[in-house]
Structure 1
């Protein structure tokens, strides 16, 4: 038995059903904020084209290739494919948050991307883990078994040991995401808050919901780095299939292109900071 994986989008946009902007849009604080995030995404696409191009290249190389990479999946590989596709879906959500300047929130999703990819990798290699992942919701025994097998420290240590070229960087990115947003730790909260002393041991606190272009660049940089590591891990699972299908060289060239562009932009960013 096989299942076909398609990277589809089912949401109906206001353009597809020919309705105008809803009457109540931007008439309250929430929808006004949502409108601002939409404007910020457009501003990032217009003002930071090279950084946006990195994300587009990643999306094309991974999400856009998902039908080929994961076509006609057998039952044993289904959990791994579902998890990799979830990592890709979360990448797209993180793109929207990053480009709108929602730095803290985009960092939250980095952890989810990494966890989905590592779980996918392990489910592809271990029947025990695959069965435990599928059985987590069955009962309390299944939940406990899954939690035990998917304890993070042993999993990431296995990745580090087996892939010393990129495993340590993946672990470091995971820990960094926890410090900066995936957990409500002090560093991430402080970077996204403004605290002003008002005397008499009182303070004015402002939460920063959206940052400007410098933060957008930082968010895109971290997201692109994580997706490069996810690509490396994914290749250990589907690399042979890529070779059989004759698309390994093409995908590797696409990945190399976005990695080289990312490194160039990172160098340019570092040089610009040194001149300040």
Structure 2
């Protein structure tokens, strides 16, 4: 039995836990270094090697997108605010796994936003796929009795791994969404395939969307961009990030409809749909 399975083995995934016993909160971990957090100055040696120079570029690109593409950033921020609101109000959960998967979906969304705004558009798409997969798995578990336990026990044996793989094949997970909402399923399938095309798998579009070719008199130079500049690739990745975050929230709303409505998240999602 793995550590995580031991940790949750005494929980009944079908029980309702009181706020005092189990509560979901938005949590941020900070690794603080003495002196650095107070002065906000980079530590000694930062920027003297290629990796930290690269990380500085990512940092400044995030600021540049916030300042120069504020309308696009606001879409990302509005999706994040909806995620934050529901993530901060998941006390008294009816089940165990779905709220935890919601938090992981939100975390993956924030990771993707950081990568996209930093210009790492191709590298953002694996995180964007995770945003959707956490939501899809949560719905699949909610709609199929016993699947939560199968998923939690995945690593107990080779048989457990095979059983989990069979039940959580992508086509089966997508079929659960299709049965719940055919229209949303079509949109999510399109977005999921886009993540695969543009970076979640090593496909052609992932490669060519971040390449430039320069032809000289005697040769041709191919440039592979780790970080893209302002242009179609960045605009596409920003919009896709907002669409995927919204799509994941719409999936989670199926599981937490009453809470989404009480927190007035639903009308905000409806407004976002018009913009995206």
Aligned to 1:71: 91
Whether 2:268 is the aligned partner of 1:254: answer: yes
1:223-272 CA deviation, whole Å, 9 max, x = no partner? Answer: 111112112111110003445xx32xx21222233333x34xxxxxxxxx
Task: Give the distance between the partners of 2:238 and 2:61, measured in 1 at CA.
Answer: 14
Structure 2 SS opposite 1:206: strand
8 Å Cα contact 1:100-1:216 kept in structure 2: no
Contact 1:97 1:103 in 2 (8 A): yes
Question: What residue in structure 2 maps to residue 11 of structure 1?
Answer: 30
- CA distance in 1 between counterparts of 2:143 and 2:37 reads 42
Partner of 1:274: none
In 2, the alpha carbon distance for the partners of 1:16 and 1:125 equals 46
The residue aligned with 1:273 is none
Cα distance in structure 1, aligned partners of 2:245 and 2:38: 34
| In 2, Cα distance between equivalents of 1:203 and 1:132 | 53
- Whole-Å Cα distance in 2 between the matches of residues 221 and 206 of structure 1? 25
- Counterpart CA distance in 1 for 2:200 and 2:220 is 26
Deviation at 1:158, TM superposition (A): 2.7
Tell me the number of residue pairs that the alignment of Structure 1 and Structure 2 aligns: 254
RMSD across aligned positions (CA) = 2.2
Deviations 1:183-222 (A, max 9, x none): 001121111123557899x864422011122233221100
CA contact (8 A) 2:116 2:238 kept: yes
Partner of 1:92: 110
After TM superposition, list the pairs within 5 Å mapping 1:1-276 onto structure 2: 1=17, 2-12=21-31, 16=37, 18=39, 20-68=41-89, 70-74=90-94, 77-195=95-213, 204-214=221-231, 215-243=233-261, 246-247=262-263, 250-260=264-274, 262-263=275-276
Verify the 8 A CA contact 2:139 2:177 in the aligned structure 1.
Answer: no
TM-score (norm 2): 0.84
SS in structure 2 opposite 1:127? coil
Give me the whole-angstrom Cα distance separating, in 2, the residues matched to 1:180 and 1:129: 30
Once residues 225 and 194 of structure 2 are traced to their aligned partners in structure 1, the CA distance between those partners, rounded to angstroms, is 20
Contact 1:79 1:134 in 2 (8 A): no
Query: So what's the TM-score if we normalise by structure 1?
Result: 0.84
- Mapped to 1, the partners of 2:85 and 2:230 lie a distance apart of 27
| Range 33-42 or range 229-238, more displaced | 229-238
Preserved contact between residue 94 and residue 109 of structure 1 (Cα < 8 Å): yes
Take 1:63 and 1:207, find their aligned partners in 2: how far apart are those partners? 35
Stretches of structure 1 lacking an aligned partner (at least 5 in a row): 264-276
The answer to whether the Cα contact below 8 Å between 2:135 and 2:252 also exists between their aligned partners in 1 is yes
Tell which deviates more after alignment, 188-197 or 18-27: 188-197
